[in-house]
Amino acid sequence: MGLPLKDSQHHNYQDYLSWPDDVRYELIDGDAYLMSPAPDLAHQDVAGEIYFQAMRALRNKPCRPFIAPVDVRLPKHDEADEFIDTVVQPDVLVVCDDNKLDRRGVRGAPDWVVEVLSPSTASHDQINKLKIYQRHGVREYWLVHPIDRVLTIYRLNEIEYGKPEIVELQGTTTVGILPEVTIEWDELAARLPRDY
């Protein structure tokens, strides 16, 4: 993740839509963050496997999984899309309210978000996005640490995340808010490079 753009302008979704398609950004409270180049294969393998398992478990159910890149617009109030100043692209997300879905992506907090950490994005995902997801009401937030083979789980208790649960990437982990979704780690963890 790059640093916020070096200007004093407060950006919004209207600005975001005018930027070139070949450069991806996320907006957090009006600050534009240049997204790193395409993630490595291990990152994509982890995100893809979690998405695949969630999609299989949620088939013919009301909740829908998605995989990046999908724009998630997080309005502070009821402002029109063009004035929204927070737009993120989680690695994996599940939305259970169809009213939040439109042709541009998601407007409002997903129910479950997964970010797969890499050295270039770890602090952004663990600090900036954690605050944003908590503030906007993402009910469950998973941070997958492929290098350490650890999963950190945050669950929303009313208005804030409680103490995180930290587990190893082994056996299975059930999504607390979606008990029909259980992620199996062993085969995936065995595929990860040892030096990742």
106 contacts 71 by C-beta, under 8 angstroms:
yes
pLDDT of residue 108: 98
Q: Phi-psi region for residue 90, left (φ > 0), alpha (ψ -120 to 50) or beta?
A: beta
pLDDT in tens, 82-105: 999 999 999 999 999 999 999 999
pLDDT of residue 54: 98
Q: Quickly state the pLDDT bin for 195 (edges 50, 70, 90).
A: low
What span, in angstroms and rounded, lies between the C-alpha atoms of 196 and 179? 30
**Domain residue extents for the chain:** 39-191
Residues of the chain with pLDDT > 90, as a percent, come to 77
pLDDT in tens, 126-137: 999 999 999 999
CATH topology of domain 39-191: tt1808, chain A (3.90.1570)
What span, in angstroms and rounded, lies between the C-alpha atoms of 106 and 72? 5
pTM score, whole prediction: 0.93
**53 vs 147, which has greater pLDDT?**
53
What span, in angstroms and rounded, lies between the C-alpha atoms of 191 and 189? 5
What span, in angstroms and rounded, lies between the C-alpha atoms of 50 and 81? 29
Looking at residues 1-15, what average pLDDT do you find?
Answer: 69
pLDDT in tens, 35-49: 877 778 889 999 999
Strands (E), the chain: 25-28, 31-34, 64-67, 72-73, 87-88, 92-95, 101-102, 105-107, 112-116, 140-145, 150-157, 160-161, 165-168, 172-175, 178-184
pLDDT of residue 76: 95
